[in-house]
Amino acid sequence: MQNLWYKNAVIYCVDVDAFKDSNGDGIGDFRGLADHLDHIEALGANCIWLLPFYPSPNRDNGYDVADYYSVDPRYGSLGDFVEFMQAASDRGLRVIVDLVVNHTSIDHPWFQASRSDPHSPYRDWYVWRKDKPADAEEGVIFPGVQRSTWTYDRKRQEYYNHRFYEHQADLNIANPAVREEIQRIMGFWLALGVSGFRIDAAPFMLEGLEGDPHAYLAELQSFLSWRKAEAILLAEANIPMSEADEYFGDGDRLHLIFNFPLNQRLFLGLARHDAAPVADLLKTLPEIPQIAQWATFLRNHDEIDLGRLTDEERAEVFAAFGPEKHMQLYERGLRRRLAPMLGVDERRIRMAFSLMLALPGTPVLWYGDEIGMGENLDLPERHPVRTPMQWTPEGAGGFSEADPKRWVRAPVMDGPFAPAFVNAERQRVEGESLFSTVQRLVRARRAAREIGWAPAEVIDLGAPSVLALRARWRGGDVVTLHNLADRPATVDLSAVVAGRRCIALLGQDAQDATGNGGVWRLGAFGFEWLRLG
């Protein structure tokens, strides 16, 4: 029987270089992370997703990999990674790591051999062309920053393909030797204890494969299941729902896919104070195999991608959450942290967390959001949301003993999101802090296994601002209510409760108006989790 542990997991995403510095050089490392796992454990998450920590020129936050079989010396040694893995295991925390094999850094020895040695075995490991394609300026991933997807290499005297930055050359996945090497990379980290991989840029990884490109995903899962049966593949794939079956297959391809369309509709709903954008999307979710799962999120390490909204819808979200041009990015997204976007009303932030955890799928949290960290918009591109973790109220937040000028990225120093007001130390002991609220929500989510296993049923209660969801699985029955509006709303659950016992699990500004679970009054940004007995 398969171990579908991820169905009821809560994943916490960590950027190692920004979490905790243990040696005073201003850069986070594995020793610092290992020493602060109690924070993640206390939150209630049971899986950690590590952003790339491999040796890299670091032109793209580590996604320009120069060596897949080691740890960037800035973060420690391979031995430090193993010690971190042991510390995580001791706390019951699984670890998944980024598998970045769509491209490598141009500094990678493979690329250097491919461009310089006509007889190298790596000659065809990348995508080369003698002539620059006519559509080279189309399909760029970073508009306004990236100009082309093909760059001329003077040494080889050919053009190489790069869907992302020109310093990230695309690997030739059609080459069997490349695919064999990818399996070798996976096997290496599996042997060191990881529980799976988050596949970076999955759709672009499949470009260039003939026939059924998505069949390659089954090849990856087959290898994974032989090496470690319970290991998973979580894909970054911003795809329309019509393509979901190609990525999930019959349960023989991906285990999880980030639900980007749902995330975009969620922010549209928050902007409008209207549940309809989320409800309408949930009603169109396709049926997926039993082993498959969506991954839900509010924020991640990149921009909030609104590219699948209409121009008018995107303008609404920009107006609500990023009205100034420097808050926007790549003509499609927002480069802001969750708390400052949702404003000074912390009820709205708490409700957003509750809603995300109540959505069907596996929730993924971005480090620092659980304490309401802010962004540093003076940093370039996607870096504003990657500021150092704020541990203490003193100084710049206790991330490192080094002078903040030497820190990996400039911290948030001033304003309402400065460490004096937003820090883990204080919130861990305050019963009504944002951390404590998210902690209770995470525990409720892990206790409500129905949400992870059952498809979501949208209940129409006639209140436009209230999203009512029901999850039923193996005799369990959970209903969640969320008011997206800044004004109270009343809903009648009598037909749903139907005389059954209604147990309130946790909530915010919600009141049972009749005493039997029938009519509920939700305050502005109010929510409630109910179990029907």
- Provide Rg for the chain, Cα atoms: 23
Q: Would residue 180 show up in a list of annotated catalytic residues for this protein?
A: no
Q: What is the DSSP string of 440-477?
A: HHHHHHHH-HHHHHSPPEEE--S-TTEEEEEEEETTEE
Residue 472 token pair? 């039923």
Burial of 83 (0-12, 13-18, 19+ CB in 10 A): middle
Q: Would residue 200 show up in a list of annotated catalytic residues for this protein?
A: yes
Task: Give the separation between CA 526 and CA 501, rounded to whole angstroms.
Answer: 22
Looking at residue 320, the DSSP 8-state letter turns out to be H
Task: Give the separation between CA 263 and CA 257, rounded to whole angstroms.
Answer: 12
Q: Which residue has the tokens 């930055």?
A: 165
Task: Give the separation between CA 357 and CA 467, rounded to whole angstroms.
Answer: 13
Q: What is the DSSP string of 22-69?
A: SSSSSS--HHHHHHTHHHHHHHT--EEEEPP-SS---SSTT-S-S-TT
Q: What is the DSSP string of 233-299?
A: EEE-----GGGHHHHHTTTTS-SEEE-HHHHHHHHHHHHHT-SHHHHHHHHTPPP--TT-EEEEES-
Residue type for 273, please? H
Task: Give the separation between CA 303 and CA 61, rounded to whole angstroms.
Answer: 14
The catalytic position among 64, 98, 200, 528 is 200
Residue 308 token pair? 């699948």
Dihedral pair phi/psi, residue 334, rounded to 5°: -115, 135
Across 9-24, b (16+ Cβ under 10 Å) vs e yields: bbbbbbbbbbbbbbee
Query: Smallest Cα–Cα separation from 349: which of 330, 368, 376?
Result: 368
Say if CB 57 and CB 107 are below 8 A apart: yes
Alpha helices in 331-430 (DSSP H): 338-342, 346-358, 424-429
Angle formed at CA 23 by CA 18 and CA 24, multiple of 5 degrees: 75
The catalytic position among 64, 236, 369, 528 is 236
Q: Which residue has the tokens 């944002």?
A: 434
Dihedral pair phi/psi, residue 44, rounded to 5°: 105, -5
Active site residues: 200, 236
